[in-house]
């Protein structure tokens, strides 16, 4: 039985699309082959930034012959109906059988199709898959009609067994399948021929390409942990970033650098977010717990062992962190306003200009509702009512800060830092950080009473407000995350042993 090797070689495929593309390629091709009458023993799918690869083992050499009976029109049916039946079966009238039926004599067609060779079937299936591949976003290039995520440059498609390999005759627009590919863009760009999957992977490795994304992930993580351990530090785990970076490189080379002393005073979360979002760097933590370095992954081997690459990355990182430092220092000035004035006053006043929902008012309106709710809920959770109201009034102030404007994912967390800078009680600062929680099923549930009061008030206001304006979730959509808010209320109540009835919860809020 032959084995199939298919490689679709293109310009860089976005890392975020590669996992889905692998699964789509495997399913579409294998489903198409099975539907056409072929069977196979196993299939594996791989990707790098420049290639999608499918390897199928034990493919049958041809499909089984098919004998199919089709019932047609009655013998006295209109001629047009009989002619249509003949066209659909590809037979002539004298090839039809005439059989007795409950309704009289009826034409039957016996269609026999011989088995088809695997190369013919594979060519049809692969062409169809390429032309109809479900990329989330795709493009056209040149004068052709073909669409792909990035310009498709070549197709490798071979069927091989002990007797050798043959090229499958796939033709898609200007591209004709062959048995050649190339290695790393810079380190081994010369094309080479392959005869099997084992031959393919071995030659790719010699050409500086790790085909398996899982292997690239393991290589990156092992080198990163070894580098940081040798320096007496630890790399901060980030599974999502690891998967993304593995999708950006074909031959990962791990490098470690240090953050300039001028930026070490920034909150750890700011350093981590800036490096992860802008530079795709892993954060490196010293034994003290402070973020002091970074790990970056290059896609090439250089004569200076990455020194030039590292220097360039450090220069760009310093520019990014300079922006973050500017935001931080500016925000601290607002948070540390004159004690005689309202802390974070500029931000709180600015919430009036931020629309929450056109039927539910501004963020300032919402903050006022949440503050009143938090005061009402406080006795039920053992919180100080004044602290709960104060925390609710400042919890969303950081939405107007420059740092949250740059990194929205830091909302709440920055509110904690700014509340501390303003000299507010620690319970207020923690509530600013925790009032969004829990967001997901794995998030910790706040336990500080003030945080619980504000978190409940925030979610109950969301639920009662959107229900009041007839924006309930449906089975297919929940644009305002009301299910998440409801689950958050349940987890907060159960996780903190709060004894409150559903009717009590439902009567809270201005919209109840």
Task: Evaluate if residue 340 carries a pLDDT over 70.
Answer: no
Alpha helices in 132-212 (DSSP H): 197-206
pLDDT at 65: 81
Per-residue confidence (pLDDT) for residue 111, from 0 to 100: 78
Look at residue 101 in the predicted model and tell me its pLDDT: 82
Rg (CA), the chain: 32
CA distance 99 to 120: 36
- Both structure tokens of 451: 């945080």
Of 476 and 395, the structure prediction assigns the larger pLDDT to 395
The pLDDT value recorded for residue 509 is 55
Percent of the chain topping pLDDT 70: 97
DSSP states of 384-440: -HHHHHHHHHHTTGGGGSHHHHH-GGGTTHHHHHHHHHTT--HHHHHHHHHTT---S
> pLDDT digit string (tens) for 296-310?
999 999 999 999 999
The three-point CA angle 128-129-130 to 5° equals: 95
Question: pLDDT grade, residue 338 (50/70/90)?
Answer: low
Strand locations in 354-435 (E)? 355-357, 361-362
| Residue found by looking up tokens 């802390």 in the block | 343
Banded pLDDT at 69 (limits 50, 70, 90): confident
Residue 20 has pLDDT above 80, yes or no: yes
May I ask the CATH architecture of the domain 345-507? Orthogonal Bundle (1.10)
* pLDDT per residue as tens digits for the range 266-291: 999 999 999 999 999 999 999 999 99
pLDDT at 510: 53
**pLDDT band of 503, cuts 50, 70, 90:** low
Q: Count CA atoms closer than 13 A to 52's CA, side-chain side.
A: 27
- CA distance from start to end of the chain: 69
SS3 97: strand
The pLDDT value given to residue 85 = 86
Q: What is the pLDDT of residue 200?
A: 98
Is residue 320 scored above 60 in pLDDT? yes
Closest CA to 283 of 265, 308, 256: 256
Neighbouring CB atoms inside 10 A of 102's CB total 5
Which whole number is the average pLDDT over 150-161?
Answer: 96
Most trustworthy range by pLDDT among 81-90, 104-113, 394-403: 394-403
Give the list of residues 6+ apart from residue 132 with CB closer than 8 angstroms, or none: 28
Does residue 90 or residue 322 have the better pLDDT? Answer: 322
C-alpha–C-alpha distance, residues 157 and 297, integer Å: 31
**pLDDT band with cut points at 50, 70 and 90 for residue 190:** very high
Thinking of the domain 3-62+117-206, which architecture would CATH place it in?
2-Layer Sandwich (3.30)
Residue 139, pLDDT > 70, answer yes
Residue 450 has pLDDT above 80, yes or no: yes
pLDDT at 15 over 70: yes
Mean pLDDT of the chain: 93
Band the pLDDT of 343: cuts 50, 70, 90: confident
pLDDT at 367 over 90: yes
Task: Read off the pLDDT of each residue in 365-384 and give the average, rounded to a whole number.
Answer: 95
* 508 has a pLDDT exceeding 70: no
Name the β-bridge partners of 355.
362
Strand pairing partners for 176?
A: 171
Q: Is the pLDDT of residue 118 over 80?
A: yes
Rounded to an integer, the average pLDDT of 201-223 is 98
> Can you give the residue ranges of every domain in the chain?
3-62+117-206, 67-113, 213-326, 345-507
Nearest to 427 by CA among 402, 391, 403, 458: 391
Q: Which of 20-29, 287-296, 492-501 has the lowest mean pLDDT?
A: 492-501
Name which residue leads in pLDDT, 441 or 11: 11
Position 106 pLDDT exceeds 90: no
| pLDDT value for 251 | 98
Residue 381 scores a pLDDT above 90: yes
């Amino acid at each position: 039985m032959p084995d199939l090797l298919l490689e679709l070689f293109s310009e860089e495929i976005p890392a975020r699309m590669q996992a889905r593309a692998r699964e789509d390629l495997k399913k579409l091709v294998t489903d198409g082959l099975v539907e056409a009458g072929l069977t196979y023993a196993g299939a594996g799918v791989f990707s790098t930034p420049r290639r999608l690869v499918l390897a199928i083992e034990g493919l049958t050499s041809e499909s089984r012959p098919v004998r199919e009976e089709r019932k047609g029109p009655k013998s006295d049916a209109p001629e047009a109906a009989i002619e249509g039946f003949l066209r659909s079966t590809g037979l002539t009238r004298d090839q039809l059988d005439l059989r007795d039926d409950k309704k009289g004599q009826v034409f039957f067609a016996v269609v026999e199709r011989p088995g088809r060779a695997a190369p013919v079937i594979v060519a049809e299936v692969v062409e169809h898959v390429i032309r109809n591949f479900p990329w989330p976003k795709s493009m056209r290039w040149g004068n052709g009609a073909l669409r792909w995520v990035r310009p498709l440059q070549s197709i490798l498609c071979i069927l091989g067994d002990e007797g050798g390999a043959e090229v499958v005759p796939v033709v898609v627009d200007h591209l004709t399948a062959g048995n050649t590919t190339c290695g790393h863009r810079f380190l081994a760009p010369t094309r080479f021929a392959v005869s099997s999957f084992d031959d393919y992977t071995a030659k790719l490795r010699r050409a500086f390409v790790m085909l398996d994304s899982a292997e690239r992930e393991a290589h990156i993580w092992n080198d990163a942990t070894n580098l940081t351990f040798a320096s007496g530090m630890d790399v901060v785990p980030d599974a999502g970033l690891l998967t993304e970076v593995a999708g950006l490189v074909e031959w990962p080379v791990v490098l470690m650098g240090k953050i300039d002393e001028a930026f070490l005073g920034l909150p750890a979360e700011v350093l981590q977010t800036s490096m992860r979002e802008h530079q795709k760097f892993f954060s490196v933590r010293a034994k003290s717990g402070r973020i002091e370095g970074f790990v970056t992954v290059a896609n090439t081997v250089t004569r200076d062992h990455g020194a030039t690459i590292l220097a360039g990355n450090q220069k760009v990182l310093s520019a990014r962190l300079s922006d973050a430092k500017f935001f931080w220092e500016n925000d601290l000035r607002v948070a540390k306003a004159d004690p005689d004035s309202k802390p974070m006053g500029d931000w709180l006043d600015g919430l009036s200009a931020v629309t929450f929902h056109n039927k539910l008012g501004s963020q300032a309106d919402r903050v006022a509702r949440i503050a009143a709710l938090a005061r009402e809920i406080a006795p039920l959770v053992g919180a100080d009512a004044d602290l709960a109201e104060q925390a609710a009034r400042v919890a969303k102030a950081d939405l107007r800060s420059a740092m949250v404007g740059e990194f929205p994912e830091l909302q709440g967390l920055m509110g904690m830092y700014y509340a501390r800078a303003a000299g507010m009680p620690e319970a207020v600062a923690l509530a600013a950080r925790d009032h969004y929680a829990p967001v997901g099923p794995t998030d910790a549930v706040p336990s500080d009473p003030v945080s619980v009061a504000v978190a409940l008030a925030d979610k109950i206001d969301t639920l009662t407000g959107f229900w009041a304006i007839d924006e309930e979730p449906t089975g297919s959509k929940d644009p305002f995350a009301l299910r998440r808010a409801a689950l958050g209320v349940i987890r907060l109540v159960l996780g903190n042993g709060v004894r409150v009835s559903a009717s009590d919860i439902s009567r809270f809020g201005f919209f109840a």
